[in-house]
Amino acid sequence: MAREIVLDTETTGFDPKTGDRLIEVGCIEIQDLLPTGRTFHRFVNPERLIPPDAIRVHGITDEKVKDAPKFAEIADDLIEFIGDAQMIAHNAAFDRNFIDFEYARCGRPITGEARWIDTLKLAQTRFPGMPNSLDALCKRYKVSLVERTLHGALIDARLLAEVYLELRGGKERVLDLSSAPVGRGPGGVIETAAYGQRPRPLAPRSTPEEQAAHVAFLAKALKDRSLWEAYGLPAQEDAA
């Protein structure tokens, strides 16, 4: 797997082509389907008034963003944070349209559809005919909505990250009990990485005298039938 960015935006309306602008962007970084803890969050001055209907959705007022930077002032920071990662959004076309409009407006390259993963489409494939809004998916996956009273880019990105991990089976990967992580190397060859030594080795639970008595027992009772002997390991490791 690779680095991915879960992204959400808040805007003044529905369509940048009719004059609506982005007013908030929030991003959560995921690496190999696990959150890294890195985030990106900015409020943006939309250079226009925010309609009352939009304020009722996200609670962001003109007063709140009047001193915020314009998008052109945060564009490079956002581009740097996203890097070459794929972007994940719910109803991704909406967020992509605003991000690409703002990028183009300040002379930055647009992202393009191929770089986006739409969790709405993933959910519709998994749960056809069922409600698949972000709220509905949070309830279905028992993701708590207690902290959200209004929509917000960063909190919605956090909720979406949890939903995305559920959709992709990311949480189950934390419980993987296999002996070593598996990945694909050059040419698609599956490689298994061995775990390193324990950073803080456990102290022996037996005394030198007990270890010596155990070795003597193995030599007398089992001779060459010791399990450790079969694997070419020293008999002392039997007692470690």
Q: Which residues are annotated as a binding site?
A: 8, 10, 58, 156
Active-site residue identified among 41, 90, 151, 214: 151
Please give the torsion angle defined by the CA atoms of residues 150, 155, 156 and 161, in that order, rounded to the nearest 10 degrees. Answer: -160
The token duo for 175 is 């419980």
Q: Is 151 a catalytic residue?
A: yes
Name the binding residues for substrate. Answer: 8, 10, 58, 156
The residues, ordered by sequence, that sit 6+ positions from 116 with a Cβ below 8 Å of its Cβ are: 86, 87, 88, 89, 92, 95, 96
First to last CA, the chain: 37
Residue type for position 140? R
Bind-site residues for a divalent metal cation: 8, 10, 156
Catalytic (active-site) positions:
151
